[in-house]
């Protein structure tokens, strides 16, 4: 039987937060986020060009999205980037967390170092890496130093390397956050569990598989969900590093939304794309959350 | 029940002081005069600031508050939100989200046909600044696409500046062993236009001066007119005109290469000359028309009005805005503006435009009217140019074919005005 005894009704009442406390922030959220989003989404059913009058055209914009090669290719790029960055970020982030989990002086220096790029604006990161990947940039210079001149190439100028170059940049920037979340998860695991398993003869790999991983499930949920949603919305780094090129090789849905609205003046079509992206993000997030939550257990 | 009081002398005095203060502040606001807002592309800042200073000297009661952007499309968003500047930058033609025909079609620009300067706009370019025969934009400057040649590199290669397309390919064959024959910033989309437009001007438009009109009438298309220019573009690649790193270079990289003597040639607009000279003030750079045809007689120089000044229909300061634009059109102001913007002055475009730098060959083409209006100025929507730019990048990357690109361009053109 639990030793917890509920407090008396009077104290419970005193501790209760009045419902109207939430009214102001909720009202603000509805006014600033919900209402403009829904009102904006209505333009997806019009032919509005961003200026002047418009008329209702039903689902025509959504039908156009479905048969637009550029939209399909942008969607493909977006999914590739979201999946690859999520996967690599988690593998590298977890490895770093395992390596830096112990409290040592070196680790207390390395942890903030790995986290630092996350504090930079994505645009700044894009500009920095643009120089790294330039034909005369740092990466090619390093390859030359290592006598690997055959590997030198214009990384952002080739369709088959540009998207992976961007993915690595994104991972570099955000892997520190993933690492920190995993370290928090690792430190919540009681060391006694590992000690008991070790006494029972479990090796390090077995302990990682049977103790660490299951108990890290909440951290995994967060670390899969956040980078994946971030990957689906990727915009700044792409705009700065490749502007979606060469051709459309790195164009994401977010970049296409921007271009349709502000370069072409196709606000309605752009809004339809934004609605599709929103639905995609929401569905992906719900599926991930449902699957990952099922694996979670209390530490 | 509340009691009513007669106002005391203190209250009367307070109200009087308040009213006088209010009247005084209104008077002060009037004395401050009109403030015009202007928004333009950042690269025009020097030219604008110089003109604004001169204007304000003559008109101390009119302040001009200029802001600059790297993303001119944001001006359209300002129209959307009802916050358009009094004097927005407006692109000529119909091929941009802030092009004159797009904005005028939506009733967002003031009709300037009644202004004295409107009658002096060059007949060769009037179509670029009108909508339904009404003038909406002052075309202050004109630019052209030129081929820059670094004289020192040309001498080190031991070759003359190419004057026809066969010479150009022969030059690339010879020069590629020792230098980059032609600097090219293929990582960005804009530089793709320069050789492309120059090639099409000297092929499609050299064979048929009314190609743009025929395309609008459905008698010509990208598929019928632009094939040769695309094939020649790829021939240049295959002859090694561009470095193998061109796809990773920005336009700025390319400008530095030709300025610094790492490349012999570069194709771009005249506005880039100050940048090239900034990167290497000692460089001797010669300008010639891009040799886009095997027949020298068919080479044409792409030329067109650059972004100009319109007046928002929403503006509350139209009279002052018209005064500012009229000031910009004065020949001496216009020439100073053009020099600062590294362009040709609109005031001289039909007579004898002064071309900057070593540009005798360019001047000959201008005087002989061997020019073609920038191709996109006659395109009916803002989608065609991005399709062209991305398509050429794909062509170079082997991701599309000339046939597929031309069809996509035709399909996008067929969307018409949007």
Which whole-number Å values give the CA distances from A75 to A182, A238, A253, in the listed order?
Answer: 30, 14, 6
Q: Which residue has the higher pLDDT, B197 or B24?
A: B197
| Residue A53 pLDDT grade (very low, low, confident, very high; cuts 50, 70, 90) | confident
Q: Which residues of B touch A155 (CB under 8 A)?
A: 248
Q: A137: pLDDT confidence band, cut at 50, 70 and 90?
A: very high
Query: Residues of A near B (CB-CB distance < 8 A)?
Result: 49-52, 133-136, 153-159, 242-249, 259, 262-267
Chain A: residue nearest B74 by CA? A262
Residues of A in contact with B71 (CB under 8 A): 262
Cβ neighbours of B405 in A, within 8 Å: none
Identify whether the C-beta of residue B100 lies closer than 8 Å to the C-beta of residue B128. yes
Q: A249 contacts in B (CB within 8 Å)? A: 397, 399
For residue B141, the distance in angstroms to the closest alpha carbon of chain A comes to 23
Least confident interval from A3-17, A254-268, B5-19: B5-19
For chain B, give the mean pLDDT. Answer: 90
Check whether B113 has a pLDDT greater than 60. Answer: yes
Percent of chain B with pLDDT over 90: 79
Strands B263-269 vs B134-135: parallel, antiparallel or unpaired:
unpaired
Each residue's pLDDT tens digit, A196-241: 999 999 899 999 999 999 999 999 999 999 999 999 999 999 999 9
Residue A180 three-state SS: helix
Query: Is A156 in Cβ contact with B381 (below 8 Å)?
Result: no
- Give me the domains of chain B, ranges plus CATH numbers: 30-140+306-348 (3.40.190.10), 143-304+357-414 (3.40.190.10)
Cβ of A248 within 8 Å of Cβ of B394? The answer is yes
Nearest to B76 by CA among A55, A239, A43, A263: A263
ipTM > 0.85, yes or no = no
Whether residue B17 is predicted with pLDDT greater than 50 in this model: the reply is no
pLDDT surpasses 80 at B5:
no
Q: pLDDT value at position B32?
A: 60
What does the pLDDT read at residue B7?
45
Contact B418 A264 (CB under 8 A): yes
Find the helix or strand (DSSP H, E) in which B69 lies.
strand B62-69
Name the residue among A247, A264, A265 with its Cβ closest to that of B390: A247
A105: exposed, middle or buried (Cβ count in 10 Å: 0-12, 13-18, 19+): exposed
Helices A122-133 + A138-145 axis angle, to 10: 40
Candidate from A156, A246, A265 with C-beta closest to B382: A265
Minimal Cα–Cα distance from A114 to chain B, Å?
28
Cβ(A297)–Cβ(A214) below 8 Å: yes
Q: Could you give the residue ranges of the DSSP H alpha helices within A30-137?
A: 35-41, 60-67, 69-100, 105-115, 122-133
Closest-CA residue of B relative to A159 is B397
pLDDT at A3: 55
- Go through B55-94 and write b for each residue having 16 or more CB atoms within 10 A of its CB, e for each that does not: bbeebeebbbebebeeebbebbbbbbeeebbbbbbbbbbb
8 A C-beta contact, residue B155 and residue B269: no
Q: CB of B188 within 8 Å of any CB in chain A?
A: yes
**C-alpha span between B90 and B79 (Å, rounded):** 12
> Would you kindly state where each structural domain of chain A is located, as residue ranges?
44-295
Q: Which region among B24-38, B62-76, B158-172, B333-347 has the lowest average model confidence (pLDDT)? A: B24-38
pLDDT digits (tens, 9 = 90+) for B294-346: 999 999 999 999 999 999 999 999 999 999 999 999 999 999 999 999 999 98
CA-based radius of gyration for chain A: 24
Cβ proximity of B246 and A157 under 8 Å: yes
User: Is A51 within 8 Å of B187 when comparing Cβ atoms?
Assistant: no
Q: Looking at residue A7, what is its pLDDT?
A: 75
Instruction: Give the pLDDT band of residue A20 (cuts 50, 70, 90).
Output: confident
Over residues B61-75, the pLDDT tens digits come to 999 999 999 888 788
CA angle (A16, A17, A19) in 5-degree steps: 120
B395-414 pLDDT, tens digit per residue, is: 999 999 999 999 999 999 99
Q: Average model confidence (pLDDT) for chain A?
A: 91
Query: Is the domain A44-295 a CATH 1.10.3720.10 member?
Result: yes
Measuring CA to CA, which residue among A75, A36, A66, A56 is closest to residue A256? A75
A51 contact residues in B (CB cutoff 8 A): 76, 79-80, 102-103, 106, 108
Q: Which residues of A touch B80 (CB under 8 A)?
A: 50-51, 267
Answer whether residue B288 shows pLDDT above 80: yes
Is residue B87's pLDDT more than 70? yes
For residue A130, the chain B residue with the least C-alpha distance is B248
Provide the 10 A C-beta neighbour count for residue A133. 25
Tell me: pLDDT of B146 over 60: yes
In this structure, what are the phi and psi dihedrals at residue B81, rounded to the nearest 5 degrees? Answer: -90, 5
B108/A52 touch (CB, cutoff 8 Å), yes or no:
yes
**CB distance B246–A154 less than 8 Å?**
yes
A183-199 per-position pLDDT tens digit: 999 999 999 999 999 99
Instruction: Test B418 with A49 for CB contact under 8 angstroms.
Output: yes
Cβ within 8 Å of A, B 75-104: 76-77, 79-80, 97, 102-103
Q: Does B248 touch chain A (CB under 8 A)?
A: yes
Give the pLDDT of residue B406: 97
Of B77, B381, B391, the CB nearest to A262: B77
Shortest CA gap A262–chain B (Å):
5
Nearest CA in chain B to A133: B248
Task: Indicate whether B19 pLDDT > 50.
Answer: no
Is B390 an interface residue toward A (CB < 8 Å)? yes
What does the block give as tokens for B384?
A: 């065609």
Span B347-368, average pLDDT? 90
CB atoms within 10 A of CB B47: 21
pLDDT band at A1 (very low <50, low <70, confident <90, very high): very low
- Are residues B106 and A134, on separate chains, in Cβ contact within 8 Å? no
Instruction: Tell me whether the omega of the peptide bond preceding residue B394 falls within 30 degrees of 0, making it cis.
Output: no
pLDDT exceeds 80 at position A91: yes
Q: Is the pLDDT of residue A117 over 80?
A: yes
Q: What is the reported pLDDT for A4?
A: 67
Find all residues with CB under 8 Å of A54, minimum gap 6, and list them.
A43, A46, A47, A48, A268
Smallest Cβ–Cβ distance between A248 and the set B73, B253, B390 belongs to: B390
Work out the minimum CA distance from A299 to partner chain B, whole angstroms: 49
CA dist A182 and A180 (Å) reads 5
What confidence tens digit (pLDDT) does each residue in A276-296 have?
A: 999 988 998 899 888 887 776
Helix (H) / strand (E) element for B179: namely: none
The answer to whether B371 touches B300, Cβ cutoff 8 Å, is yes
Beta strand residue intervals within chain A, DSSP E? none
Least confident of A12-26, A212-226, B227-241, B358-372: A12-26
The pLDDT-based confidence of A298 (bands split at 50, 70, 90) is: low
Answer for the pair B288, B357: CB distance below 8 angstroms, yes or no: no
| Interchain contact B187–A (C-beta under 8 A) | yes
Kindly state the helix (H) or strand (E) to which residue B209 belongs, with its residue range.
none
Question: For residue B393, what is the nearest residue in chain A, using CA coordinates?
Answer: A247
pLDDT at residue A299, as a whole number: 46
């Amino acid at each position: 039987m639990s030793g917890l005894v509920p407090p008396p009704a009077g104290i419970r009442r005193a501790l209760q937060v009045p419902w109207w406390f939430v009214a102001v922030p909720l009202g603000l959220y509805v006014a600033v986020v919900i209402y403009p989003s829904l009102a904006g989404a209505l333009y997806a059913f019009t032919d509005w060009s961003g200026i002047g009058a418009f008329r209702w055209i039903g689902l025509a914009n959504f039908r156009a999205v479905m048969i637009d090669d550029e939209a399909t290719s942008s969607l493909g790029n977006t999914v590739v980037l979201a999946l690859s960055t999520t996967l690599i970020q988690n593998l590298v982030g977890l490895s770093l967390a395992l390596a830096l989990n112990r409290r040592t002086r070196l680790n207390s220096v390395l942890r903030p170092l790995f986290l630092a790029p996350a504090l930079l604006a994505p645009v700044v990161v894009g500009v920095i890496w643009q120089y790294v990947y330039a034909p005369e940039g740092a990466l090619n210079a390093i390859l030359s130093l290592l006598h690997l001149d055959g590997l030198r190439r214009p990384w952002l100028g080739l369709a088959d390397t540009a998207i992976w170059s961007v993915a690595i940049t994104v991972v570099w920037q955000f892997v520190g956050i993933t690492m920190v979340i995993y370290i928090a998860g690792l430190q919540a695991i009681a060391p006694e569990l590992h000690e008991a398993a070790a006494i029972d003869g479990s090796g390090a790999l077995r302990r990682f598989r049977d103790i660490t991983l299951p108990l890290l499930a909440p951290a995994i949920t967060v670390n899969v969900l956040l980078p994946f949603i971030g990957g689906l919305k990727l915009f700044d780094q792409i705009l700065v590093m490749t502007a979606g090129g060469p051709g459309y090789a790195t164009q994401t849905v977010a970049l296409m939304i921007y271009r349709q609205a502000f370069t072409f003046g196709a606000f309605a079509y752009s809004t339809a794309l934004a609605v599709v992206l929103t639905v995609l993000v929401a569905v992906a997030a719900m599926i991930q959350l449902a699957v990952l939550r099922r694996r979670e257990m209390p530490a | 029940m509340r009691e009513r009081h007669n106002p005391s002398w203190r209250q009367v005095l307070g109200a009087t002081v308040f009213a006088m203060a209010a009247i005084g502040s209104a008077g002060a606001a009037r004395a401050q005069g009109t403030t015009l807002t202007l928004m333009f592309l950042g690269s025009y800042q020097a030219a604008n600031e110089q003109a604004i200073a001169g204007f304000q000297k003559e008109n101390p009661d009119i302040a001009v508050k200029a802001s600059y952007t790297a993303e001119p499309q944001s001006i359209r968003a300002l129209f959307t939100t009802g916050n358009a500047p009094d004097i927005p930058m407006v692109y000529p033609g119909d091929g941009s989200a802030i092009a004159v025909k797009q904005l005028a079609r939506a009733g967002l620009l003031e009709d300037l046909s009644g202004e004295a300067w409107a009658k002096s706009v060059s007949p060769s370019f009037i179509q670029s600044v009108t909508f339904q025969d009404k003038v909406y934009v002052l075309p202050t400057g004109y630019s052209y696409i030129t081929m820059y040649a670094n004289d020192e590199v040309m001498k080190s290669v031991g070759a003359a500046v190419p004057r026809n397309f066969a010479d150009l390919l022969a030059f690339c064959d010879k020069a590629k062993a020792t230098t980059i024959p032609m600097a090219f910033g293929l990582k960005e989309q804009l530089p793709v236009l320069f050789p492309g437009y120059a090639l099409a001007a000297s092929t499609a438009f050299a064979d048929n001066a009314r190609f743009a009109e025929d395309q609008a009438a459905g008698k010509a298309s990208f598929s019928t007119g632009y094939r040769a220019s695309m094939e020649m573009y790829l021939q240049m690649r295959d002859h090694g005109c561009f470095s193998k790193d061109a796809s990773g270079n920005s336009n700025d990289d390319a400008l530095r290469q030709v300025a610094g003597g790492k490349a012999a040639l570069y194709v771009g607009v005249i506005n880039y000359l100050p940048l090239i000279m900034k990167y290497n003030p000692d460089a001797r750079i010669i300008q010639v028309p891009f040799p886009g045809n095997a027949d020298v007689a068919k080479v044409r120089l792409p030329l067109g009005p650059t972004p100009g000044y319109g007046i928002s229909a929403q503006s509350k300061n139209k009279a002052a805005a018209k005064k500012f634009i009229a000031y910009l059109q004065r020949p001496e102001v216009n020439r100073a503006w053009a020099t600062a913007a590294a362009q040709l002055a609109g005031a001289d475009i039909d007579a004898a435009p002064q071309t900057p730098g070593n540009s005798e060959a360019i001047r000959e083409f201008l005087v002989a009217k061997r020019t073609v209006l920038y191709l996109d100025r006659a395109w009916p929507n803002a989608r065609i140019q991005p399709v062209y730019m991305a398509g050429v990048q794909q062509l170079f990357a082997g991701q599309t074919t000339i046939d597929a690109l031309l069809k996509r361009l035709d399909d996008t053109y067929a969307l018409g005005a949007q």
